[in-house]
Every structure is written in structure tokens, then in C-alpha cells.
Amino acid sequence: MQYVLIGIAVLVIWYLLANLRVVPQSEAYVIEFLGKYKDTWEAGMHLKTPFLERIAKKVTLKEQVLDAPPQPVITKDNVTMQIDAVVYFRVFNPMLFTYGAINPINALDNLTATTLRNVVGELELDETLTSRDAINSKMALILDDATDPWGIKVIRVELKNIIPPKGIQESMEKQMKAEREKRETLLLAEAHKEADIKEAEGHKLAVVLEAEGERDARIARAEGEARALYLAKKAEADGLRELMAAGIDEKVLRLKQFEAMQKVADGRAAKIIIPTDMVDLTTKASVFAETASVGSAVTNPEEHAEEVPESHCFDKEKEFGDYDGNGYDRQKAETDETLGTRRAE
């Protein structure tokens, strides 16, 4: 009896070891019972019924990458290019992935190639080269809808390489070179234009500043001259007020007249006509003594007349209208008459 119990214990242990299964994380086991789908084991420990149940397929639930080989694709404008795409997907239903298609990965690969041809065939060469995002989005939407019965979720699609024919590549390089040369020419022209504008603006500003400086200088000079004239007139007026306040007499005024005549006769006049009232002052000793220098300059007009050439006197007299053209000098006659009167006195 003891041996029977030991045998039963051994059988139980063997049964457990033979039929106990541990499903790893991110995996799922599809279980069949007598050839028919029974259950899907998630991550954890499970016990399989021997001889009746079997693991039909082990499916990974991780995201997978399908790198499709380059495919010859013809664009709308009849350009053949080599394009390869990369598909990112994951299995969301292990049962559909197991029973939906014989080889779902291969089916997805072929579906990607045909979808790529259809999408690119609706575009021209330039659109294909510049519309990668649109192609990726459209292909991802089409593949996701088509693979739902297979239990596959297409996450995104990326175009890996777009290889146009060699002739197209050379044309594209020439076009790119021409575009860059055009851009360079435009930039140079724009730079020259800006330089000319800056130079013109600088010249204009210089002219304006020069004009403003000249204007300010003229204003300053005019203000200075006006200020000097104002001060001179003010000083003259102040002098006159001081003289009026001091109560000057006629003698002082006569003296001022002689001083003025002395300045007039300072070697720049050929003849001087002395008023009669000034000649009368010579009889007054006090005033005559103070103005001796002026008197010596005018008492002997004949000597002064001898120093000046006759032709010069003629010109002066003719200039002022004192010569009548017949040899009669009115200013000389008046001067002689005045001098005769003085000698008589």
C-alpha cells in the first residue's frame, strides 16, 4: 500500500511538471481544446489539460517593425522610383492574429507594397518628394483598416528611402544648383541695393547737416552783429544821456565838431570845406588852443592843396559835380573866399 501511495505522488508531480505553463509578460498563448480554439492565456501561471489541450500559437504583444524591401513605384508622370517603407505595428488580438491569416506578417508586407504603389501612383514626382508626411498618414490609415481582421494594429508608416532614376537625380542637382545661384544673385542684388540706399541716405544726411550748420552759423553771425550794433547804439545813447545830464555848453559841442573834422581830414580828403560858424571859433583863444592840432591841419589849405595833384583834385571835383566844365571851380572859389575873410579878421 505504501508503494501505491508513492506511485500516485510521483504521477501527480509529473502531471504538474508536464502541464504547468508560465506565460511571460507581453506575450499571449492561444489554447485549443481538441483542435478548437478554447482560450487565450495572458501573462501568469496556467495548467494545461494533457492530451486534450494544446498551445496553438505563442504571440508577442510588443510593438514590431516591418522593414519592407525597396519597391519599384511609378509616379503619375511616369517616373519609376525605388521606395522602401517601414511599418510599425503590434498585435492587439492574439486569436485573430492566429486564425485571421496564414502568415499575417507576410500578408502585411505585401499589403504595404501594393498600398505604396497605389498612393504614390496618384502623385507626380515633385509631390512625391515633398509630400512624405501625407503619404505616411494615408498609408497608415489604409493599412490599419485592412489589418483589423488579422488582429494587427498599424501604428505608423515611414518612407525610408526615395531613390529616383540617375537622370532625374542629375536634373535635380542641376536645378538645385541653379536655384542656389539664383538665390545668390538675388541676395547680391539686394545687398547692392541696400548699400546704394544707405550711401544715398548718408549723402542726404550730410547735405542736410551741412545746410543746417551753415544756417545756424549765419543765424549766430546775424545775432552777434545785431547784438554788437545794439550795444554800440546803446553805448552811444548812454553817452548822449550822460552828456545831457552833465549840462554841456556850446564850447564842448564846438570841440566835438573840430574833432570830427580832424577825423574827416585824416589824409583822405583833397579839400575840406569848413562851415562859417566853425571859422568864427578861431577868435576864441580857449577853444582854439585846445584844437591847435586841428587848426594846423586846416589853417593853411594851400599847402595841403599843393600836396595833392591837380588832376586828382579835378577828378574829385568832377565826381562830386563841383566842376562845371569851363574851368570854374566853385568849391575852390568858396574856399578862397572863406580864407580871405579869415585873414581880414
Spans of all domains in the chain: 2-60, 64-164, 250-344
What is the H or E stretch that residue 190 is in?
helix 166-246
pLDDT reported for residue 308: 40
Rounded CA gap, 68 and 117, in Å?
Answer: 13
pLDDT reported for residue 240: 73
Name the residue with higher pLDDT: 309 or 220: 220
List the beta bridge partners of residue 58: 29
Name the residue with higher pLDDT: 98 or 282: 98
Name the residue with higher pLDDT: 89 or 283: 89
Rounded CA gap, 313 and 145, in Å?
Answer: 129
pLDDT reported for residue 278: 54
Is pLDDT at 147 greater than 70 in this prediction? Answer: yes
Residue-wise pLDDT for 13-70, tens only, equals: 777 777 788 889 889 999 998 888 888 988 888 888 888 888 888 999 999 999 888 8
Rounded CA gap, 96 and 275, in Å?
Answer: 145
pLDDT band of 161, cuts 50, 70, 90: confident
The rounded mean pLDDT for the chain is: 77
Rounded CA gap, 45 and 22, in Å?
Answer: 4
Is pLDDT at 172 greater than 60 in this prediction? Answer: yes
- Range 2-60 has CATH code 2.30.30: yes
Instruction: Tell me which of 59-73, 216-230, 285-299 is least confident.
Output: 285-299
Q: Any residues with CB less than 8 A from the CB of 142 and at least 6 apart, and which?
A: 115, 119
pLDDT reported for residue 107: 92
pLDDT band of 211, cuts 50, 70, 90: very high
In the chain, the amino acid numbered 258 is F
Rounded CA gap, 138 and 160, in Å?
Answer: 15
Could you give the 3-state DSSP secondary structure of residue 158? strand
Is pLDDT at 196 greater than 70 in this prediction? Answer: yes
pLDDT reported for residue 263: 65
pLDDT band of 157, cuts 50, 70, 90: very high
Q: Any residues with CB less than 8 A from the CB of 70 and at least 6 apart, and which?
A: 82, 83, 84, 161, 163
**Nearest alpha-carbon partner for 122 in 142, 144, 152:** 142
Rounded CA gap, 94 and 29, in Å?
Answer: 8
Contact present, 65 and 86 (Cβ < 8 Å): yes
Place of cell 498609408: 139
Burial class (CB in 10 A: 0-12, 13-18, 19+), 197: exposed
pLDDT band of 5, cuts 50, 70, 90: confident
pLDDT reported for residue 267: 55
Rounded CA gap, 170 and 176, in Å?
Answer: 10
**Nearest alpha-carbon partner for 82 in 95, 64, 69, 65:** 69
In the chain, the amino acid numbered 83 is I
Average pLDDT over residues 173-184: 87
For residue 153, the number of C-alpha atoms closer than 13 Å in the C-beta half-sphere is 9
pLDDT reported for residue 266: 62
Rounded CA gap, 304 and 343, in Å?
Answer: 17
Given this structure, which CATH class describes domain 64-164?
A: alpha beta
pLDDT reported for residue 8: 77
Contact present, 257 and 278 (Cβ < 8 Å): yes
Instruction: Tell me which of 35-39, 238-242, 258-262 is least confident.
Output: 258-262
